[in-house]
Structures are given as C-alpha cells and as structure tokens.
Amino acid sequence: MTEEKFMLKLNNFINGNFVSPVDDVYMNNYNPSTGEVYSMVPDSSDKDVELAVEAASKALAGWSAKSPAERSVYLYRIADLIEKHIGHLSEAESKDQGKTIKTARTVDIPRSAANFRFYAGQILYTTEPSSAHHVMGQEYLNYTIRAPVGVCGLISPWNLPLYLLTWKIAPAIALGNTCVCKPSEITPMTAFILCDILNEAGLPPGVVNMVFGTGPRAGSALVQHPKVPCISFTGGTKTGEVITKLSSPYHKKLSLELGGKNPAIVFDDCNFEECVEVLVRSSFSNQGEICLCNSRIFVQDTVYERFVEKFVERVKQLKVGDPADETCDMGALISEDHLKKIEYYVDLAKQEGGRIMCGGQRAQVGDADSKFRKGYFYQPTVIVDCKPDSRTMQEEIFGPVVGIYHFSTEQQALSYANDIQYGLSSSVWTKDLDKAHRVAAKVECGICWVNCWMVRDLKTPFGGSKASGVGREGGLHSVEFYTECKNICIKL
Ligand code: NAD
C-alpha cells in the first residue's frame, strides 16, 4: 500500500481492480481538522453501480459454493491483515474523519478486525445448511435450509467508517453472499485501503466491490437495482425513510440502523464516581458522533446538582485538538455543515431556556497561523434546563452536546426517556438490581446498558426500535438477515 495512492485520487474497486468512475467525475475529500482538500473521491453514477453489481453477480456462484470452512480462511486472513496495517489504517481514519488517532487505534480499527474474526468463527459452528427438522406423524419430514440472499447492497455512514462497513461486509460474505458497498462519500479512505487488504488476502475478485459516491446518485442506484435483493443501511432516519420508499417496488430484505437520541437514567443509588466517568465518555467519545452516545441524561433530583457539578468539572478537562496528538480526547467534527448544525442547536437550546454549563462555542486549536484554525472543532457542551419535550432534547444533534435534566420518580424517568421518536440505546445507573431489571425492561430501545456503556459482544442483537431502525444484526440475527431460509417437506 502506498502513501501516494490515498493522497491523490481514490478509485472504485470492481472485480478486484481499481477503476475510475465511468463518467470520470470526482469530488473533493476534506481533512476535517484543517478544512483542506486532501484527496479526490469518485462521484459514481448508476453506470458504476451497474458494473459493480455485474461483478458481484458473476462472483456469487463460486463464492457461495465454497464451504463455510473455506470462506472462514479468507475472513481470518482479512482480520489479520487489518491488524497488521493498524497503524496505517488508524492514521487514515483519523485524518479522514477528524477523530483522534487514539480512538481510531483503540476502537475503530481493532473492532473492524474483530468483525471479520467473529464471523469467520461463527460460520464454522452455526451455519450448516440444515437448521431445523421434524417429522409429521411418521409421514412427512420437514427440514429447513438456508442459502445466501445474493448480491447485498451495503451502505454505511461517516462516523465509524471502517468499523460499520466491516460490520456489514463480514457477515454478508461469511454467509456466502457477494456485495456492493457504498461507503459515506465524506469518509471513503479506509474503505479504499480495505480494498488493497482484500486483494492481499486473496479474496476472489467480485466478492466485495466498492463504489464511492453520494447517496442520491450511487446510493439510490444501488438501492433500486433489481439484482440486489438485500440492503443493509446504517445512517440517518430520514435517509432510512427514503431507502424504504425507493426499495419498496423491489421487495428487498432491508436492515435499517438509524438515528438515536439515547437517554441515560441516573438513580441516586448508583456508583456515582464511576457513573460520571462513564457518562462523560458516553457523551463525548468520537466528538459525540457515535450513534450510541448518550445525549440526554436524566438524573434523580436528590443527586442532580452534585451530578451536574461533577460532570461539568470532568467535561472541562477534556482536551480538544489535533487528532494526531495522543493526548487529545476529542478531534474535529466531520464537516463544516455539521459544525454549523451544532451551532444551530446550541442557539436553539438557549432560546428554549437552556443554560450552557460549559462549551457552547467553536474550539480554537493552535495559534493564529496554525493549520488547524480552519478545522471544524467544537467544545464539549453541557446544557441544563431544556425540558424533556424541547427540540434540543428531542432531535438528534449527533455531536458534542449533551442535555441534562432532573426527575423525581422511576416512573417519571421512564416517561422522559420513552417520550421520543427514537429507540436505539440507553444506559441505566443504579446498584439496586430489581430496579435495574425493571427499568431496563421498560426503556424503549434495542440495547440497554446497566452500569456500563458500549460494551459489545458480537453475538448479541444490535439495532434500534421505533425511528431508530428496523431489524437486528449481530450473531444469529445476521445469519437470518444475510440468508434466505426455505422449508422442504418430503413424503416419507
Ligand atoms: P446519512 O443517512 O446521511 O448517510 C448514510 C449513508 O447513506 C451514506 O453512505 C450516504 O451517502 C447514503 N445515502 C444518503 N442518501 C441516500 C439515498 N437516497 N440512497 C442510498 N443511500 C443514501 O447518514 P450520515 O450523516 O452519514 O450518518 C449519521 C447518521 O447515522 C446519524 O443519524 C446516526 O445516528 C446514524 N447512525 C446510526 C447507527 C446505528 O447503528 N443505528 C450507527 C451510526 C450512525
């Protein structure tokens, strides 16, 4: 892998080859920490999608005919190579996305390798074709087989670029499908590097294809392609709606991982110090740009003031700056548009009666002529007093902004937490085990953490309820999604 390759023009990856987009149109790719263009990304069209789907369709028969054990070897190899190139991949992710190198090296890239390694192992033990059988009154035998769905369209967002893309690629190909990926147009770099890794691992051409470009052009062409029976999408709720509509005439399998506005519920009997520490992390990791971040914290009124004081004190210690600086806790936001969106919401919070306890403005990084002066940095921001039904507390901001509000009873905490369109994740803080089980069961969401946050076991179901998504992936849920099951009934 050469440095020059990712400093200049990126290309699509089709049938194992790097190819220019058919129309030869490229877009600027920005480094969020400097605001400068540092590479060019294909602005692919339906013509490129067509070529990629053709390659994936051709590769399908050979790839799906391989045994799970044979496919597993490739996945293990890819995992090893991601780890071998962790330095290069972490630097690229950090430069492309704005996240700190520390986050890329300890979260994004290791978890990308883990995605391949997990499914490499899982298919050895859980995906033998016959999954269930029974005999009806000695006369008929029923059994069920699972087959790959076919060419999968995998569409991913910009916040955890390689991590979320590999969360789709790994199960899709492990289960014998081939795929066409459409990574976010604003963070294409590690997906591009991954293509080199796939070749280095010897993955047969066409099994994974990568088409770079915008959602409305390349993305929607993929969603509407009749030879792509399955779409796994992670991104915003509004885009999820568009994808649902666009794909409906084709009756595709759809998995939608969408937006969130995740509550944390803090009871007065929690382990206070640990709770504050973890919630600072759960609010501001990756600049608050993780779908699982807590952006609404409801604190029991008996510890509310103490909590706000301690929380703000800790947040003020977070260091925002050069993503490559190992001592920084937060890097740059993804784009200038996103920075403006954050500013809009902080202004709105003030209009809604919110008090800014810390942050509330852009962060200045470096001196007047530093290259970071045009970067998209924002201070970690804590807002109190916005009512649970205010727009600040209801709409997804997806940045370094958290709202804190108080409650008195368990019932009130639950109604604040649940009275919202979203239902992705939550965290509950108490030492009372009965209460923990009770509240965890009643918070409307797909994933609830009790006294912890973002602990991931890849066997468990991942996904959201309400406007946060449709379907679950992870473990056997991915097996269900990326395979089509068929019952066969034989007269004995
Ligand atoms: P986005 O919806 O703007 O884009 C996501 C992807 O969809 C990109 O690749 C984009 O190009 C593509 N896309 C856009 N329009 C499309 C269309 N019409 N047809 C096909 N593809 C299209 O989201 P984003 O801004 O990249 O990411 C942020 C959002 O993602 C937030 O809402 C966040 O909560 C959500 N997210 C959810 C999860 C989860 O697991 N639930 C994880 C990460 C991010």
pLDDT tens, residue by residue, 416-443:
999 999 999 999 999 999 999 999 999 9
Residue nearest to atom 23 of ligand 1 (CA): 235
Ligand 1 centroid vs 290 CA: distance in angstroms? Answer: 12
Measured from the Cβ of residue 40, the count of other Cβ atoms closer than 10 Å reads 17
**Sign of the dihedral through C-alpha 69, 74, 77, 82:** negative
* Substitution candidate for ligand 1 out of 97, 154, 228, 239 with most atoms within 8 A of CB: 239
| Banded pLDDT at 33 (limits 50, 70, 90) | very high
| Banded pLDDT at 4 (limits 50, 70, 90) | very low
428 vs 474: CA distance, rounded Å: 22
pLDDT at 94 over 60: yes
pLDDT at 295 over 80: yes
HSE-CB of 336 using CA atoms within 13 angstroms? 10
Token couple for 173: 């190909």
Q: Which of 257, 289, 352, 396 is catalytic?
A: 257
Could you tell me the CA-to-CA distances from 230 to 128, 181, 220, 460 in Å, in that order? 21, 12, 13, 21
pLDDT at 211 over 80: yes
CB 178 within 8 A of CB 168: no
| Banded pLDDT at 7 (limits 50, 70, 90) | low
145's enclosing H/E stretch is strand 140-148
pLDDT at 134 over 80: no
Query: Three-state SS for 165?
Result: helix
Atom of ligand 1 nearest to the CA of 214: 11
**Would you tell me the crossing angle of helices 86-97 and 109-126 to the nearest 10 degrees?**
120
pLDDT for the residue 2: 43
Atom of ligand 1 nearest to the CA of 158: 26
Token couple for 427: 């965290």
Q: Does the Cβ of 220 fall within 6 Å of ligand 1?
A: yes
| Banded pLDDT at 131 (limits 50, 70, 90) | low
pLDDT for the residue 6: 47
Atom of ligand 1 nearest to the CA of 257: 41
pTM, entire model: 0.96
Residue nearest to atom 30 of ligand 1 (CA): 235
CB 287 within 8 A of CB 331: yes
Token couple for 441: 């069961």
The burial class, CB within 10 Å (0-12 / 13-18 / 19+), for 38 is middle
Ligand 1 centroid vs 154 CA: distance in angstroms? Answer: 11
Rounded average pLDDT over 390-401: 98
Rounded average pLDDT over 279-294: 98
Token couple for 358: 């810390």
Q: Does the Cβ of 334 fall within 6 Å of ligand 1?
A: no
* DSSP one-letter code for 185: T
Name the more confident of 2 and 452: 452
pLDDT for the residue 3: 45
Residue % of the chain over a pLDDT of 90? 93
Query: Three-state SS for 292?
Result: coil
Rounded average pLDDT over 49-68: 98
SS3 content of the chain, % helix, strand, coil (to 5): 45, 25, 35
> Which tens digits make up the pLDDT trace of 223-259?
999 999 999 999 999 999 999 999 999 999 999 999 9
Ligand 1 centroid vs 124 CA: distance in angstroms? Answer: 32
* Substitution candidate for ligand 1 out of 27, 233, 234 with most atoms within 8 A of CB: 234
Token couple for 130: 């016959």
Kindly report which listed range (133-142, 304-313, 377-386, 471-480) carries the lowest average pLDDT score.
133-142
Q: Does the Cβ of 242 fall within 6 Å of ligand 1?
A: yes
Ligand 1 centroid vs 307 CA: distance in angstroms? Answer: 33
| Banded pLDDT at 143 (limits 50, 70, 90) | confident
Instruction: List 142's β-bridge partners, or say none.
Output: 134, 489
CB 263 within 8 A of CB 76: no
Ligand 1 centroid vs 234 CA: distance in angstroms? Answer: 5
Residues 6+ apart with CB under 8 A from 344: none
Token couple for 268: 């007065």
CB 357 within 8 A of CB 309: no
pLDDT for the residue 125: 87
Average per-residue pLDDT for the chain: 96
Query: Three-state SS for 18?
Result: strand
Amino acid identity, position 64: S
Query: Three-state SS for 342?
Result: helix
pLDDT at 279 over 50: yes
Atom of ligand 1 nearest to the CA of 424: 41
425's enclosing H/E stretch is strand 425-429
Residue % of the chain over a pLDDT of 70? 97
pLDDT for the residue 289: 98
174 vs 169: CA distance, rounded Å: 8
Q: Does the Cβ of 446 fall within 6 Å of ligand 1?
A: no
205 vs 58: CA distance, rounded Å: 9
Atom of ligand 1 nearest to the CA of 235: 30
Token couple for 302: 């008996």
Q: Does the Cβ of 182 fall within 6 Å of ligand 1?
A: yes
Q: Does the Cβ of 424 fall within 6 Å of ligand 1?
A: yes
| Banded pLDDT at 5 (limits 50, 70, 90) | very low
243 vs 463: CA distance, rounded Å: 17
Q: Does the Cβ of 68 fall within 6 Å of ligand 1?
A: no
* Substitution candidate for ligand 1 out of 222, 232, 291 with most atoms within 8 A of CB: 291
List the one residue out of 238, 287, 161 whose CA is nearest residue 468. 238
Instruction: List 477's β-bridge partners, or say none.
Output: none
Rounded average pLDDT over 449-461: 96
pLDDT for the residue 368: 86
Our answer to whether residue 70 is catalytic in this structure is no
Atom of ligand 1 nearest to the CA of 468: 41
Residues 6+ apart with CB under 8 A from 50: 221, 225
Atom of ligand 1 nearest to the CA of 243: 19
Rounded average pLDDT over 176-193: 98
241 vs 245: CA distance, rounded Å: 6
CB 288 within 8 A of CB 399: yes
182 vs 186: CA distance, rounded Å: 11
pLDDT for the residue 136: 77
Q: Does the Cβ of 454 fall within 6 Å of ligand 1?
A: no
Q: Does the Cβ of 462 fall within 6 Å of ligand 1?
A: no
pLDDT at 129 over 60: no
492 vs 25: CA distance, rounded Å: 61
Q: Does the Cβ of 448 fall within 6 Å of ligand 1?
A: no
> Which tens digits make up the pLDDT trace of 256-271?
999 999 999 999 999 9
Q: Does the Cβ of 461 fall within 6 Å of ligand 1?
A: no
pLDDT for the residue 132: 65
